[in-house]
Amino acid sequence: MLLDSQSQNSDSFAGVLSDAGSTTVAQLLLDARQAIGSDVGAALRCIRQAASLLEAPSQPSPVSPARGGLARWQAERIKCHIDSNLDEAIQVSDLASLARLSCGYFSNAFKTTFGQSPHTYIVSRRLTRAMELMTSSSKSLCEIAIDCGFSDQAHMCRQFRRATGVSPNAWRRDNMMMSALATQQ
């Protein structure tokens, strides 16, 4: 179970959230685990709050561009392009062309703006999309992996386990159980 395997590891969402965010999510899940036996409502509130933190963008849109970072129009154009093309191969050179920058300068500006490399950001967006598909559809993990731009199911499973600490199947099963509990309330 997700809560048992990650009860001592607050870095389980490090690929998706900042350090503070992953600590908060881990604490909320620990609280839910403790409350599930005595107060299902409180446990569900903790889980919903953790889910809302996971659904929120990991990096807020910059209000003003950081020195050496991307301009707001560039950041928005890049985010839009990535989100609409997750099922395809996304090259840094293509992203740099969209921003009208050289590849080297783009990579540094991207990291300044988003706090992570383009590759890490793309993988985290793909994992977020995979989580959405796992909870909202009955597609197989192989179909979800291809729909999210992973080369195959094994690639998605490795990335998913690296980011969350559990397999996609276990994560899906646990979320289905929690949604079943929520509908009973």
> Looking at residue 43, which CATH number applies to its domain?
1.10.10.60
Query: Cβ distance 175 to 135 under 8 Å?
Result: yes
pLDDT reading at 56 higher than 70: no
- 47 and 87 assigned to the same domain: no
92: left (phi over 0), alpha (psi -120 to 50) or beta: alpha
Query: Cβ distance 10 to 23 under 8 Å?
Result: yes
Residue range 15-31, pLDDT digits in tens: 445 555 677 777 878 88
Binning pLDDT at 50, 70 and 90, where does residue 66 land?
A: low
- 126 and 111 assigned to the same domain: no
| CB-based burial, 90-114: b 16+ in 10 Å, e otherwise | bebeebbeebebeeeebbebbbebb
**Does 169 map to a domain?**
yes
**Does 64 map to a domain?**
no
Domain span at 7: 2-58+122-184
**Does 67 map to a domain?**
no
Query: Cβ distance 155 to 162 under 8 Å?
Result: no
- 14 and 100 assigned to the same domain: no
**Does 168 map to a domain?**
yes
**Does 63 map to a domain?**
no
pLDDT reading at 140 higher than 80: yes
- 144 and 126 assigned to the same domain: yes
What pLDDT is attached to residue 165?
92
> Percent of the chain scored above 70 by pLDDT?
79
What pLDDT is attached to residue 67?
78
Mean pLDDT of the chain: 81
- Provide mean pLDDT across the span 43-64: 66
3-state SS, residue 169: helix
What pLDDT is attached to residue 104?
93
**Does 19 map to a domain?**
yes
Strand stretches in 80-185, DSSP E: none
| Domain total in the chain | 2
Residues 175, 142, 95, 107, Cα dihedral to 10°: 70
- 167 and 138 assigned to the same domain: yes
Q: Which residue has the higher pLDDT, 112 or 29?
A: 112
- 174 and 87 assigned to the same domain: no
**Does 6 map to a domain?**
yes
What pLDDT is attached to residue 101?
95
Residue range 72-111, pLDDT digits in tens: 999 999 999 999 999 999 999 999 999 999 999 999 999 9
- 128 and 179 assigned to the same domain: yes
- 54 and 126 assigned to the same domain: yes
* HSE-CB for 71 with a 13 A CA cutoff: 7
**Does 128 map to a domain?**
yes
What pLDDT is attached to residue 176?
80
What pLDDT is attached to residue 11?
41
pLDDT reading at 10 higher than 60: no
